[in-house]
Amino acid sequence: MIINITRNNISNLNWEDFENLKGDEIEETAKQILSIMSLKEKARKMAGDQSMLHAIGMLIHYNKNPISAGRIEQLNIPGIQFTDGPRGIVLNNSTCFPVSMARGATWDIDLEERIGNAIGIEAKAQGANFFGGICINLLRHPAWGRAQETYGEDPHLLGEMGSALLKGVQRHIMACAKHYACNSVENTRFKINVDIDERVLREVYLPHFKKCVNNGVASIMSAYNRVNGKYCGHNEHLLRQILKEDWNFQGFLVTDFVFGIRNGLKAIKAGVDIEMPFKWKMHPKKIVKWVNQGKISEELINESVLRILKQEIRFAKKDNPELYNLDKIASEEHTELALEAARKSIVLLKNVGNLLPLKKESIKKIAVVGKLADMENIGDKGSSRLYPPYVITPLQGIKKALGDSIEVVYNEGKSLTKTKEITKDADIVVIVVGFTWKQEGENMTFAGGDRDTLSLSEDDENLILTLSESCDRCIVVLEGGSAIITERWRQNVPVIIMAWYPGIEGGTAIADIILGNINPSGKLPTVFPKSSEQLPFFDSSTLEIKYDYYHGYKLMDKRGFEPAFPFGYGLSYNTYEYKNLRINKSEIKKGEKIEISFDITNKGDLNGDEIVQLYIGYENSSVDRPKKELKGFTRVNLESQETKKVSLNLDSNDLAYYNTETKQWVVEQIKHIIYVGPSSRASDLLEASFQIS
């Protein structure tokens, strides 16, 4: 029901009464509110509510409380109450989930939506109505400092996981996808210019954002960097032409914080709706002045404010103290969800001789080595930093799981001589090594930035090499935000586990995997190369860079490289057999769909989850295209010796390339190759083909 809104009655309205408005009702209500607002009030909707003086407090403890923007008290308009992410809610002592890269390794859309649901509840319970943590920047190179905040290197995986997270969050509050676009160098993020062809932009660096737009994301955040010479916040092609016109984005666009724009007038013309988090380049007084001077039309202001109002009305909700209360913060339900995510995210990279799972009856003593084994290592301490009420370390997890049944000794590994002495009679040596916020993260004043090397530190590598000489039963557990080069020591140890930054219950999950309480199922969302030469050019100090079509597994395929561990790879304590690949049609027309089916059998003795992957290749394409690219995936649960039929649907419209001359998407009438299997590695894949006519 639409209420007749006037300046006289709006202050008496309860914003929560808008909860059940839909579609045209939201539009009409927003237009009514807009019609009674003065230019000054409209301008205030387009900037953060704080002055630049509040920046000091943010440096001390960023986002301790929700950050307000566009609150108009005299009209009873609440504005947005921002909280950051993406590991969880930055406010107070919220649940810390594994980092997004780890969750990308789960390939679990349902789980990610449930995590989004928990994040939305914890945010709203703490006074926020806007979550700025749907980070879907494509990982072009694993040295990027904020790699841990995104889901991986593939746009299809990014789009599916980001959309799942926003769906969960938006059951409760507004969500924001970021950083739009081509943001994947940290140290020079405020200045770097990305030179990129329109086809590469549209096919590689934007599809995941479009997927989130198609799924109704409330907001998009522009990036700091420049694209083809223009700052993202001033880039009319990115913001107005592609996002708002081509994609018909109905939400509002916010800037990244502080230096997200350099010129407020250019930003508004380009399509920015809100400057965050302060009144600065788009100060309300400046906006009023620009309109009065004829430098910008009031219609452009009206468009931005209407976008904001529509989303605020769309997400208006009545208070529900049973759902949104402080008892939900890091509740047992949410920490169990974090544990599930950590268990599913851990990737077993190597397991020679089936050393894992450990057979406890044959073990008397386990040595746990490495400073990270007893460190609360949950990721970056930049804008994504969380302050959870507790963190289970690997050492704590192993000790708790074993109890008094097996002796556990610990050593930091500082002195190789002492460490060898302590571990010499251990049946198993668990070596926990990797990175922390000091080596990779957001480029803040205190630390972080792009990684200097993809290899472990010399100390860590020497520790592995030394202990593996005296013990042939070493388990290396890696912590970090993306790929790690392992060549110097990989052949010296039987077991390698990638644990990422595993969150509040990470230590419990690591112990569960090692001891066989959980069958590992995680698969890599990014290639682990043998050397940096297998990767695109990357220089964290550069101010100019060319982004071409190829990176990650597509670059490996194009150049014939063999990585250390391929995209989509991960071992289980079972083996899974793929057979009988079949398609329902051998020829389809443009716009039609095809069903792809195959059988998968669990040949092992344990129940387990397998992540099956669908890739598509293009034969005799008129343009340069990847040998194969991910177009589908699903998790399949199988009991021991069970066989299941798996079916995946493929829409031919998803096989188009972007024609830069006609500015149209083109589905080619050519033969397409279907690849199905457990990873992107050619030897793992079944093949079939179909024709588009």
For 298, residues 6+ apart whose C-beta sits below 8 A from its C-beta are 39, 42, 291
Residue 553: closest CA among 654, 452, 679, 673: 679
Phi, psi of 431 (to 5 degrees): -110, 115
Going by pLDDT thresholds of 50, 70 and 90, the confidence category of residue 663 is: very high
Regarding beta strands 219-222 and 174-180, do their DSSP bridges make them parallel or antiparallel, or are they unpaired?
parallel
| Among 49, 256, 450, 512, the one annotated catalytic | 256
pLDDT value, residue 443: 80
Q: Which of 53-57, 463-467, 481-485, 673-677 has the lowest mean pLDDT?
A: 53-57
Q: Is 60 exceeded by the pLDDT of residue 162? A: yes
Question: For residue 523, which of 415, 392, 612 has the smallest C-alpha distance?
Answer: 612
For residue 314, the model assigns a pLDDT of: 96
Q: What angle do CA 182, 213, 215 make, to 5 degrees?
A: 135
Contact partners, residue 37, CB within 8 Å, separation at least 6: 45, 72, 75, 305
For range 149-176, the mean pLDDT: 98
For 502, residues 6+ apart whose C-beta sits below 8 A from its C-beta are 98, 102, 342, 345, 346, 378, 479, 509, 510
For Cα atoms 328, 334, 336, give the angle at the middle one, nearest 5 degrees.
145
Residue pair 456/483 in contact (Cβ under 8 Å)? The answer is no
Residue 359 predicted with pLDDT over 80: yes
pLDDT value at position 2?
Answer: 66
* 399 pLDDT above the threshold of 60: yes
Q: What's the CATH number for 576-692?
A: 2.60.40.10
- pTM of the entire predicted model: 0.97
In the chain, what is the greatest distance between 2 CA atoms, to the nearest angstrom? 82
Where, residue-wise, is CATH 3.20.20.300 in the chain?
Answer: 19-326
Omega prior to 284 cis, within 30 of 0: no
Residue whose tokens read 């250019």: 266
The chain-wide mean pLDDT, for the chain, equals 96
pLDDT at 413: 95
Element (H, E) at 509: helix 506-515
Write the DSSP string, 301-344: HHHHHHHHHHHHHHT-----TTTSSGGGTT-HHHHHHHHHHHHH
229 vs 178, 266, 327, CA distance in Å?
A: 20, 14, 49
pLDDT in tens, 62-95: 898 999 999 999 999 999 999 999 999 999 899 9
DSSP 271: T
Question: Average pLDDT in the 317-328 region?
Answer: 92
> What is the predicted pLDDT for the residue at 47?
95
Provide CATH code, domain 19-326. 3.20.20.300
Count the neighbouring beta carbons within 10 Å of the beta carbon of residue 568: 28
Residues of the chain with CATH 2.60.40.10: 576-692
Q: How confident is the model at residue 445 (pLDDT cuts 50, 70, 90)?
A: low
Report the chain's terminal Cα–Cα distance, integer Å: 49
**Residue 48 in this model has a pLDDT that exceeds 60:** yes
Stretch 640-666: mean pLDDT, rounded?
Answer: 97
Q: How far apart are CA 231 and CA 639, in angstroms?
A: 52
Name which of 512, 492, 665, 645 is nearest 579 in CA terms.
Answer: 645
pLDDT score recorded for residue 612: 98
pLDDT, one tens digit per residue, over 260-317 is 999 999 999 999 999 999 999 999 999 999 999 999 999 999 999 999 999 999 999 8
Q: Could you tell me which of 169, 253, 247 has the C-alpha nearest to residue 208? A: 247
In the predicted model, what is the mean pLDDT of residues 236-259?
A: 97
- CA distances to 137, 147, 240, 538 from 243, in Å: 16, 24, 6, 28
**Rounded mean pLDDT, 121-130:** 97
Average pLDDT value for residue range 465-482? 96
What percent of the chain clears pLDDT 90, i.e. is strictly above it? 92
**What local confidence, expressed as pLDDT, does residue 448 receive?**
64
Band (pLDDT 50/70/90 cuts) for residue 8 is confident
What percentage of the chain carries pLDDT values higher than 70?
99
Q: What is the pLDDT of residue 688?
A: 97
The secondary structure of 94-149 as a DSSP string is ---PPPHHHHHTTT-HHHHHHHHHHHHHHHHHTT--EEEEEE----SSTT-TTGGG
285 Rama sector, left if φ>0, alpha if ψ -120 to 50, beta otherwise: alpha
What is the rounded average pLDDT of the residues 240-261? Answer: 97
17 is catalytic: no
Q: Is 199 exposed, middle or buried (0-12, 13-18, 19+ CB in 10 A)?
A: middle
Residues sharing a CB contact under 8 Å with residue 662, sequence separation 6 or more, in sequence order: none
Asked whether the predicted pLDDT for residue 446 surpasses 60, the reply is no
Strands (E), 388-460: 407-411, 428-434
Fold held by 337-559: Rossmann fold (3.40.50)
Question: Which pLDDT score, from 0 to 100, does residue 495 have?
Answer: 98
Domain with CATH 3.40.50.1700 in the chain: 337-559
Counted residue by residue, the chain has a size of: 693
Whether the predicted pLDDT of 130 surpasses 60:
yes
Mean pLDDT (whole number) for 234-256: 98
- With cut-offs at 50, 70 and 90, classify the pLDDT of residue 447: low
Q: Note the pLDDT of residue 14.
A: 86
Q: Give the pLDDT band (50/70/90) at residue 51.
A: confident
Q: What is the pLDDT of residue 229?
A: 97
